C-alpha cells in the first residue's frame, strides 16, 4: 500500500511537472524553440583561441587604424620610424624617401583584374538622392543664394556656398605607400617572420624605442589584407651583400604566420643597402593631409641629421606634392643601449621570466647580474633581509612562489640608487635648437635639457625649447610634443606637456605675450618606458608628478633665457627710439642755440657780460659766419651718433653679438672616413679631427 501510494505520488508529481512545463511552453510560445536552442548554448560555451594577428585585426583602433584616413597616417608613420631606427642602428645618416601614390577605385579594379560595372538599381546605393530630397536641397540652395544676394546689396559679408554633403561613405580611395631607406637592411631568411608574424621582432627588451606596440609594418600589412587583400612587397640588402632580397607576402590572420608569394635573391649592382617597403591600402588623403605633413615637419625638427623626401602623386596634377626636408647637421644622437631592470620597477611575472632566462645559477649572482644598481655587498644585505630560507648559494630555479613574493615585496620596500640615464638617447640640445631654427626660422629660441630623472624605476630625460616668431606659426601657443623622438599629434588636450604650457607657466613674467606673440613650445621626453595613456598611446598622462615637474622646470629654464634676450632687445629698441627722438629735435635745438648766441654776439662790448676766451672766440666766429646753424646741427648729430655707438657696443658685449661686418668663410667637406671627437654645447658642436 505504501508502494502504491508512493507510485501515485510520483505519478502525480510527474503529471504536475509535465503540466507546468506545457503551460510554460504554451505561455512563452517557445516549446520547440527552447529545446532546439539548448545545443547552441553548448557550442557557445566551447573555448576558442585567437591569434595575436586576429586580435589586432579585430581591434585595429588600438594600433592607430581607426579609419581609412588615420590608417594612411599610421602606415606612413610606422614605415618612417622603422627606417630611422634602421639607419641609426648602424650610425648611418638617415636618407629616407616616402611616396604616397593615389589609386582611384577604377584603377585599383583594373590592377586586380576586376571589371567595373555600371549601376543598374540606383536606389540600392548609399548616395542615392530621391526626387523629393533633390527638390528640398535645391530649395534650400535657392534660399541661401537669395539671402547672400541681399547681404551683398547691403554691403554685408557674403559666405561661400556650402559644399554638398553626400549621405553615403563616399568613393573608396586606395594608396600605394612606399618607404625607402639606407639603413641596416634585413637578413634574407628572417624577412617573412619579421613582417608576417605579429609580436615578433628585434626591438623587444628594456631600452628606449620609437615603437609603441612592437607592430611596425605588420599592422600595415594586416590593414592591407583587410582593405585591399593585396600582399606587401619588400626589398632589402645588408651592407656588403651582393644581392637584394625581394619578398612578396601577406599574413594568415587566423594562424599568425606569413603566407609567402615570392622570396628570391636579385643582383645588387649598385651596392645599395637598406630596405624598400611598398604596401597598397585603403585611405583618405583629404582628411589627414595636414596631419601627415605636420608629422613630417615635426620629424624634421627632432631629427635635423636626417634627410626626408616626401612625395604625393595623383592623376590630378594640382594635387601632386613634393617636399624635401634637408639635412642640417651630421651630429647624431648615440644609439640607445639595452639596459637591465631596476629592482623597484619589476613585478612577479617579470621576476619569474628573468629566473627562467638567466644563466646565473645562484641567488647572489642572479641579483648582481640581472638588475642594475645591486652590488655584491648590497646583494648580500638583501639576501640577509629575506630571511633564514634564503642564502647566497640558493639556486634560483628552486625558489618557491612564496619566496618569489618575498623577493618582490623586499624590492618594493628597499632603497636602491636611481638608475643612470646612460642608456637613453635624447636628441640633444644642439640638434633640438638646430631643428627649430631649420624648420621655423624664429626670431628668438632657447633650449634646455634636464639631467636624468626617475619615475617608477625608469630613467627619463626632458628636453625643451621655446621659440618666439617664425614662419607658419600662429599667434599664441604652438605646442610640439615628442616621446622617444617621435611626434605626438593626437589627443593633445590631456597631455602633460599641453597642460603644463597652458596652466603652469606664467608667460607674462618672462615678457612673453601668450595671446599675441607667436610662441613655439617644444618638449621631448625620452625614457625606457613612456607612460602613455589611452589605447592609442598618443599622449602622456598628467598624473605623474616627476614628469610634470621636470617639464615645468625645463620650460621655465627656457623662459628665463628668453627673458634675458627679450629685455636686451627691448633696451635696444628703446635706444633706437631715443636716438630717433633726439634726431627729430636737432634742427629746433640748433636754431634756438644759434639765435641765442647771435643775440649775444650782436650786443656792444660794454653792455655784453664778460666771457672766457673760448666763448669770445665762438662769438667772433658767429659774427664772421664761420659758425652757422648747420655747424650746430652737425655737432649735435655727431654727438648723438657717438652716444648711440657706445651704448650699442656695451649691448653687444653683454649679449655676445658683434656688429662688425661679417665675412663668409667656406670650408671644404672632408672626404672619406676619419676619426674625430665631438665637444657639444647647446649652441654649437666643436669637432676635433686629430
pLDDT along the chain (690 residues), means of 10: 43 43 45 48 66 86 87 93 92 95 88 80 75 82 83 74 52 88 93 84 70 73 90 93 94 90 93 95 92 94 95 92 92 87 89 89 90 90 90 89 92 88 89 92 92 88 94 90 92 91 93 92 93 82 90 94 85 76 83 81 62 75 81 85 75 55 56 67 67
Residue 25 confidence (pLDDT): 45
Q: In what order do the strands lie in the sheet with 257-267?
A: 257-267, 243-252, 232-237, 274-283, 173-180, 95-103, 307-313, 321-325
Question: Going by DSSP bridges, is the β-strand pair 173-180/95-103 parallel, antiparallel, or unpaired?
Answer: antiparallel
Is 534 one of the annotated binding-site residues? no
Based on the domain organization, do 504 and 448 belong to the same domain? yes
CB count in 10 Å sphere of residue 86? 22
Residue 559 confidence (pLDDT): 94
Residue 7 confidence (pLDDT): 44
End residue of a domain, out of 550, 567, 584: 567
End residue of a domain, out of 551, 567, 583: 567
Residue 622 lies in a domain: yes
The answer to whether the CB of 348 falls within 8 A of the CB of 405 is yes
Based on the domain organization, do 557 and 588 belong to the same domain? no
Distance CA 316, CA 428 (A): 42
Based on the domain organization, do 181 and 297 belong to the same domain? yes
Residue 358 lies in a domain: yes
Is 215 one of the annotated binding-site residues? yes
Based on the domain organization, do 315 and 356 belong to the same domain? no
Residue 252 lies in a domain: yes
Residue 93, classified by CB atoms within 10 Å of its CB into exposed (0-12), middle (13-18) or buried (19+), is middle
Based on the domain organization, do 542 and 492 belong to the same domain? yes
For residue 670, the SS3 value is coil
**What is the widest separation between alpha-carbon atoms in the chain?**
169
Secondary structure of 492-535 as H, E, C letters:
CCCCHHHHHHHHHCCHHHHCCCCCCCEEEEEEEEEECCCCEECC
Is 38 one of the annotated binding-site residues? no
CB count in 10 Å sphere of residue 517? 19
Is 212 one of the annotated binding-site residues? yes
The residue whose grid cell reads 651630421 is: 330
Q: What are residue 282's DSSP bridge partners?
A: 174
Distance CA 276, CA 97 (A): 9
Residue 435 lies in a domain: yes
CA angle 429, 430, 431 (to 5 degrees): 95
Is 537 one of the annotated binding-site residues? yes
Residue 215 lies in a domain: yes
End residue of a domain, out of 547, 567, 587: 567
Residues 6+ apart with CB under 8 A from 650: none
Residues 6+ apart with CB under 8 A from 465: 432, 433, 436, 445, 446, 447, 448, 520, 521, 522, 523, 558
Based on the domain organization, do 582 and 622 belong to the same domain? yes
- Nearest-Å Rg of the Cα atoms of the chain is 38
We report the CATH number of the domain holding residue 384 as 1.10.8.50
Q: What are phi and psi of 334, to 5 degrees?
A: -65, 160
Is 217 one of the annotated binding-site residues? yes
Is 211 one of the annotated binding-site residues? yes
Question: Going by DSSP bridges, is the β-strand pair 476-483/518-527 parallel, antiparallel, or unpaired?
Answer: parallel
Based on the domain organization, do 310 and 224 belong to the same domain? yes
Based on the domain organization, do 351 and 228 belong to the same domain? no
Domain that residue 365 falls in: 343-413
Residue 331 lies in a domain: no
Residue among 124, 128, 71, 140 nearest 100 (CA): 71
Residue 178 confidence (pLDDT): 96
Question: What does pTM read for this prediction?
Answer: 0.75
We report the CATH number of the domain holding residue 313 as 3.30.565.10
Based on the domain organization, do 78 and 8 belong to the same domain? no
Residue among 390, 342, 338, 392 nearest 365 (CA): 392
Based on the domain organization, do 364 and 461 belong to the same domain? no
Question: Going by DSSP bridges, is the β-strand pair 486-488/453-455 parallel, antiparallel, or unpaired?
Answer: unpaired
Residue among 286, 241, 246 nearest 266 (CA): 246
What are the distances in angstroms from CA 176 to CA 156, 269, 286, 289, 357?
Answer: 47, 26, 15, 15, 42
The answer to whether the CB of 449 falls within 8 A of the CB of 500 is no
Residue 538 confidence (pLDDT): 85
Residue 666 confidence (pLDDT): 55
Residue 385 lies in a domain: yes
Based on the domain organization, do 618 and 584 belong to the same domain? yes
What are the distances in angstroms from CA 366 to CA 346, 360, 375, 504?
Answer: 14, 5, 11, 45
Is 82 one of the annotated binding-site residues? yes
Residue 150 confidence (pLDDT): 81
Residue 262 confidence (pLDDT): 95
The residue whose grid cell reads 630596405 is: 275
Residue 558 lies in a domain: yes
C-alpha cell, 522: 617644444
Based on the domain organization, do 74 and 41 belong to the same domain? no
Residue 499 confidence (pLDDT): 94
Q: How many domains does the chain have?
A: 5
Amino acid at each position: 500500500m505504501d508502494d502504491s501510494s508512493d507510485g501515485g505520488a510520483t505519478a502525480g508529481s510527474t503529471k504536475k511537472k509535465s503540466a507546468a512545463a506545457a503551460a510554460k511552453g504554451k505561455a512563452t510560445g517557445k516549446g520547440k524553440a527552447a529545446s532546439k536552442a539548448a545545443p547552441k548554448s553548448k557550442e557557445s560555451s566551447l573555448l576558442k583561441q585567437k591569434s595575436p594577428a586576429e586580435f589586432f585585426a579585430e581591434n585595429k583602433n588600438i594600433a592607430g587604424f581607426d579609419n581609412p584616413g588615420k590608417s594612411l597616417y599610421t602606415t606612413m608613420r610606422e614605415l618612417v620610424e622603422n627606417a630611422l631606427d634602421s639607419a641609426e642602428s648602424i650610425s648611418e645618416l638617415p636618407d629616407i624617401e616616402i611616396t604616397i601614390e593615389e589609386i582611384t577605385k577604377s584603377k585599383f579594379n583594373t590592377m586586380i583584374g576586376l571589371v567595373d560595372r555600371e549601376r543598374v538599381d540606383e536606389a540600392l546605393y548609399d548616395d542615392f538622392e530621391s526626387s523629393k530630397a533633390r527638390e528640398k536641397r535645391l530649395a534650400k540652395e535657392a534660399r541661401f543664394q537669395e539671402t547672400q544676394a541681399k547681404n551683398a546689396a547691403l554691403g554685408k559679408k557674403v559666405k561661400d556656398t556650402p559644399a554638398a554633403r553626400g549621405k553615403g561613405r563616399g568613393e573608396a580611395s586606395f594608396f600605394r605607400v612606399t618607404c625607402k631607406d639606407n639603413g641596416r637592411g634585413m637578413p634574407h631568411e628572417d624577412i617573412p617572420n619579421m613582417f608576417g608574424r605579429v609580436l615578433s621582432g628585434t626591438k623587444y627588451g628594456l631600452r628606449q624605442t620609437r615603437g609603441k606596440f612592437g607592430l611596425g609594418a605588420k599592422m600595415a600589412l594586416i590593414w592591407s589584407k583587410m582593405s585591399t587583400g593585396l600582399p606587401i612587397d619588400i626589398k632589402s640588402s645588408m651592407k656588403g651583400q651582393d644581392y637584394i632580397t625581394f619578398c612578396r607576402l601577406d599574413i594568415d590572420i587566423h594562424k599568425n604566420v606569413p603566407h609567402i608569394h615570392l622570396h628570391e635573391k636579385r643582383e645588387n649592382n649598385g651596392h645599395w643597402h637598406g630596405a624598400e617597403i611598398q604596401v597598397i591600402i585603403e585611405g583618405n588623403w583629404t582628411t589627414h593631409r595636414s596631419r601627415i605633413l605636420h608629422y613630417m615637419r615635426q620629424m624634421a625638427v627632432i631629427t635635423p641629421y636626417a634627410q626626408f623626401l616626401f612625395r604625393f602623386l595623383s592623376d590630378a596634377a594640382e594635387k601632386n606634392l613634393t617636399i624635401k626636408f634637408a639635412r642640417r647637421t651630421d651630429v647624431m644622437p648615440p644609439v640607445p643601449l639595452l639596459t637591465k631592470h631596476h629592482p623597484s620597477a619589476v613585478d612577479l611575472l617579470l621576476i619569474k621570466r628573468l629566473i627562467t632566462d638567466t644563466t646565473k645559477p645562484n641567488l647572489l649572482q642572479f641579483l648582481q647580474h640581472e638588475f642594475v644598481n645591486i652590488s655584491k655587498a648590497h646583494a648580500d644585505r638583501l639576501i640577509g633581509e629575506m630571511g633564514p630560507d634564503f642564502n647566497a648559494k640558493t639556486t634560483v630555479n628552486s625558489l618557491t612562489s612564496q619566496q618569489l613574493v618575498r623577493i618582490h615585496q623586499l624590492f618594493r620596500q628597499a632603497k636602491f640608487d636611481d638608475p643612470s640615464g646612460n642608456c637613453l638617447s635624447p636628441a640633444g640640445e644642439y640638434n633640438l635648437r638646430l631643428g627649430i631654427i631649420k624648420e621655423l626660422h624664429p626670431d628668438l629660441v632657447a633650449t634646455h635639457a634636464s639631467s636624468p630623472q626617475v619615475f617608477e624605476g625608469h630613467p627619463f630625460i626632458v628636453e625643451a625649447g621655446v621659440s618666439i616668431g617664425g614662419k607658419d606659426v600662429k599667434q599664441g601657443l604652438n605646442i610640439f610634443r615628442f616621446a622617444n623622438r617621435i611626434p605626438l599629434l593626437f589627443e593633445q588636450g590631456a597631455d602633460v606637456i599641453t597642460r603644463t604650457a597652458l596652466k603652469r607657466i606664467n608667460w607674462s613674467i618672462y615678457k612673453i605675450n601668450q595671446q599675441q606673440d607667436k610662441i613655439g613650445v617644444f618638449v621631448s621626453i625620452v625614457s625606457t618606458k613612456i607612460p602613455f595613456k589611452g589605447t592609442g598611446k598618443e599622449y602622456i598622462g598628467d598624473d605623474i608628478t616627476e614628469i610634470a615637474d621636470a617639464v615645468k622646470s625645463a620650460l621655465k629654464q627656457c623662459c628665463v633665457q628668453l627673458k634675458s634676450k627679450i629685455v636686451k632687445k627691448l633696451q635696444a629698441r628703446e635706444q633706437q627710439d631715443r636716438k630717433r627722438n633726439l634726431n627729430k629735435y636737432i634742427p629746433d635745438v640748433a636754431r634756438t642755440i644759434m639765435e641765442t648766441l647771435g643775440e649775444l654776439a650782436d650786443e656792444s662790448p660794454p653792455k655784453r657780460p664778460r666771457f672766457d676766451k673760448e666763448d669770445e672766440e665762438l662769438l667772433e666766429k658767429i659774427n664772421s659766419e664761420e659758425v652757422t646753424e648747420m655747424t650746430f646741427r652737425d655737432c649735435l648729430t655727431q654727438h648723438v651718433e657717438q652716444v648711440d655707438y657706445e651704448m650699442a657696443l656695451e649691448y653687444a658685449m653683454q649679449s655676445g653679438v658683434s656688429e662688425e661686418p661679417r665675412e663668409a668663410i667656406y670650408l671644404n667637406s672632408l672626404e672619406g672616413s676619419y676619426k674625430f671627437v665631438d665637444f657639444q654645447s647647446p649652441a654649437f658642436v666643436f669637432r676635433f679631427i686629430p
